[in-house]
Chains A and B, each alone.
Chain A
Amino acid sequence: METEKIEMDESIRKELEEDVMEEIKAIQEKENNGFDESDEPAFEKQESPHAAPSHVHEQMHLAHERMEEKREESVRRGKNVVLPGDRIVESMEYLPGRNCYRDGNSIYSKRLGVVYYRGHVIDVVPLSGKYMPEADDMVIGKVSEVQYSGWTIDVNSPYRAFLPLSGVRGFIEPSRTDISKIYGVGDLIYARISEVTPLKDIRISMKDPSTRKFENGRIIRISPVKVPRVIGKQGSMINLIKDKTGCRISVGQNGVIWIQGEKEQLAARAIQEIEEKSQIQGLTDHIGKLLNQETPSAGVRI
């Protein structure tokens, strides 16, 4: 089974590489034949509105994007689910990115996931696992401890985050303020991860205008790897749910979701459905139909 898959990967890779090389060659030929900077401004020749300093660079980038598209297509066909130890490519031309490692000439997956190519960098996007904090992520956390200089926050990850007094809007004089009145144990907050050190000390901030403390509503939890599905392309999925239910919803990158509104149960049901059926074709339509029902058809776990 493994051999077959690797061969498939290999053949796709070769095919794609050939495509890319051809395109690059074509572009380079075009470049060599009569490109004159003084004659015409560079941007007129380019298809992309985001003009890059060099044609070749930009076109190569586009070619790589096309390659990625093809990759994604093969992913869509379900061919690229890899397991720990699966060989992704045998080549020194690629670099191991996220969740993969090099051993000899080959790159192998570290995790159960789907292979993605970023140019010459290979990533394995995990299908399961814990939330690992990254700077600038918006997360929903629960205050687990009030300390002298700030708050310890459970952000549904292996690492607790620290919210320092300096991470809160306004100036606080700790000796004169009962800071548990600001955030007490058990309070839920929508916060930004401001810093992640290599040793995984996590700092969060409540300075951003979008951050807030939740006073009502309900919380549901999903697998953090499913968060992009719940949000959808450019927020399409979450906006659909918001429109159809009239609920206010905040989605934390850490898989914690806050919902508030009359149709909370319906919104929660829709999100649970996305988590369960994230892989099905026409997910948006499916969720649209579900949301058109007046009442949820089954129970929802908080």
Chain B
Amino acid sequence: MTTYKRNDGRKLDETRPIKMKVGVLKHADGSALVSIGKTVALAAVYGPRELNPRHMQESDRAILQCNYTMAPFSTKERVRPGPSRRSTEISKVTREALEPALFLKDFPKTTIDLYIVILQANAGTRTAGINAASLALADAGIQMRDLVTSIAAGKIEGHYVIDLNGEEEELTDCDLPIAYMPREKKFTLIQMDGKITKEDMKNVIKLAVKGCETLYEHQRKALLEKWSKEGFE
């Protein structure tokens, strides 16, 4: 089989350039900016904080509220402000990708509010959002089992490729984003669009896990960059 040449010259298992920065927002309790290629995701965390209205409170745990938004100028065609079916679904799966990593019982009755804004979109916005959100939660000092990392993989012309870019999303047989807790080796987000064999599916997931491990290193680096100096007495 001939080697597949990616349109941006990357190797099959190479992610786009990754930049992560923690503590980018002044007024959030925790925040992070993650760019993967041309996709830029900003995450802000507030909390744990008082939850109103009170009837939403859970007496034995905190709730996580998550909102994913695309800035109107983030795409080629302007995004209409306000929730869409797509953004509502992404908000939900993002919340459910992060909840398994949180010790919500440590803060009964409160809420942890997470806001993700996609400032620029070029494929992989939900995964970039989850990476940023995980960093923002850790930055805010929220009790967590592990960081959550996230990336998508796919299959183009018989080759497994990681971190699809905008053009590749059009070519791939499947788009399979995952979120993953590296320490426990557990998946917290699984979605897939496309049609592939069971074997392909397994291989695509394995490749995505490899990508998550790379992202995890970036996440650690970003957090320690801000916080490691604080370790001095």
Task: Indicate if the CB atoms of B147 and A78 lie closer than 8 Å.
Answer: no
A129 touches B146 (CB 8 A): no
Our pick among A75, A130, A200 for the contact of B231 (Cβ within 8 Å) is A75
Residue in contact with A114 in the complex, picked from B29, B138, B221, B231, CB distance below 8 Å: B231
Q: Per-position contact with A for B178-190: 1 when CB-CB < 8 Å, else 0?
A: 0001111000000
Residues of chain B contacted by A128 (CB below 8 angstroms): 29-30, 139-141, 227
Task: Tell me, yes or no, whether A127 is within 8 Å of chain B by CB.
Answer: yes
Give Cα A281–Cα B182 distance, bound, in whole angstroms: 35
The residue of chain A having its C-beta at the shortest distance from the C-beta of B224 within the complex is A81
Q: When the two chains form their complex, are residues B231 and A158 in contact, meaning their CB atoms are under 8 A apart?
A: no
- Interface residue tally of chain A, by bracket? 35 or more
Name the one of A81, A108, A281 contacting B183, with C-beta atoms under 8 angstroms. Answer: A108
Answer whether residue B77 sits at the interface, using C-beta atoms and an 8 A cutoff: no
Instruction: Mark interface residues in B123-143 (1 if CB within 8 Å of A CB, else 0).
Output: 000000000000000111111
If A81-B227, A114-B231 touch, does A127 touch B141 (CB 8 Å cutoff)? Answer: yes
Q: Is A235 an interface residue (CB 8 A)?
A: no
Interchain CB contact (< 8 A) of A83 among B107, B110, B138: B138
Partner pick for A79 among B141, B227, B231, CB 8 A cutoff: B231
- Please state if B231 and A111 are interface contacts (CB–CB under 8 Å): no
Closest to B62 in A: A158
CB-based contact B229/A279 at 8 Å = yes
Which chain B residues border A101 with CB–CB below 8 Å?
A: 103, 145
Chain A residue nearest to B137 (CB atoms) is A84
Is residue B64 within 8 Å, beta carbon to beta carbon, of the partner chain? no
A245 at the interface (CB under 8 A from B): no
Cβ contact of B145, chosen from A84, A160, A200, A225, cutoff 8 A:
A84
Q: Which residues of A contact B49 (CB under 8 A)?
A: 130, 158
Residues on A with C-beta less than 8 A from B167 are none
Q: Does A182 contact B (CB under 8 A)?
A: no
**B231, A78: Cβ atoms closer than 8 Å:** yes
Chain B residues in 8 Å Cβ range of A118: none
Q: Does B233 contact A (CB under 8 A)?
A: yes
Interfacial residues of chain A within 111-152, with CB under 8 A of chain B in the complex = 111-114, 126-130
B217 and A1 within 8 A (CB)? yes
A199–B62 Cα distance when bound, in Å, is 11
**In whole angstroms, what is the CA distance A210 to B183 when docked?**
48
Question: How many angstroms from the CA of A114 to the CA of B224 in the assembled complex?
Answer: 12
- Report which of A85, A114, A129 forms a contact with B140, defined as CB distance below 8 A: A129
Which single member of A75, A85, A110, A127 contacts B227 (CB below 8 Å)?
A127
CB distance from A228 to the nearest CB of B (A): 11
Chain A proximity of B62: nearest CB distance (Å): 8
Q: Does A76 contact B (CB under 8 A)?
A: yes
Q: Does A99 lie at the interface of the complex (its beta carbon under 8 Å from any beta carbon of B)?
A: yes
Docked CA distance A128–B223 (Å): 12
Q: Which of A84, A114, A281 contacts B147 (CB 8 A)?
A: A84
Is residue A43 within 8 Å, beta carbon to beta carbon, of the partner chain?
A: no
How many positions in chain B have a CB within 8 Å of any CB in the partner chain?
A: 41
Interface centre among B103, B141, B146, B184 (most CB of A within 10 A): B141
For window 68-87 of chain A, which residues contact chain B by CB distance below 8 Å? Answer: 72, 75-81, 83-85, 87
Contact with A along B210-233 (1 / 0, CB 8 A): 000000010011011001111111
Interface presence of B88 (CB below 8 A): no
Distance in angstroms from A41 CB to nearest chain B CB is 38
A25 to B140, CA, bound (A): 44
For the complex, give the distance between the alpha carbons of A87 and B146 in Å: 10
**Chain B residues near A200 (CB-CB < 8 A):** 107-109
A2 within 8 A of B: yes
Q: Which residue of B lies closest to A277 (CB)?
A: B229
In the assembled complex, which residues on chain A have CB atoms less than 8 Å from the CB atom of B140?
A: 128-129
B144 at interface by CB-CB < 8 Å: yes
Verify B48–A130 contact, CB threshold 8 A.
Answer: yes
Quick one: given A108-B183, A128-B30, A199-B59, are A85 and B142 in contact (CB under 8 Å)? no
Taking CB atoms, residues of chain B closer than 8 Å to A284 are none
The 3 closest A-B pairs by CB, nearest first: A129-B141, A85-B146, A84-B144
Which chain A residues have a beta carbon within 8 Å of chain B's beta carbons?
Answer: 1-2, 72, 75-81, 83-85, 87, 99, 101, 103, 108, 110-114, 126-130, 158-160, 199-200, 225, 278-281
Known pairs A113-B141, A129-B141. 16 more at Cβ < 8 A? A76-B232, A78-B232, A81-B228, A84-B145, A84-B147, A99-B143, A108-B183, A111-B143, A112-B138, A112-B141, A128-B141, A128-B227, A129-B140, A130-B141, A279-B232, A280-B232
19 contacts between A and B (CB under 8 A): A1-B217, A1-B221, A72-B233, A77-B232, A81-B230, A84-B145, A85-B146, A101-B103, A108-B183, A110-B106, A111-B143, A111-B144, A126-B141, A128-B139, A130-B47, A130-B48, A199-B59, A200-B107, A200-B108
B interface residues with partner A (beta carbon < 8 Å): 29-30, 47-50, 59-60, 101, 103, 106-110, 138-147, 181-184, 217, 220-221, 223-224, 227-233
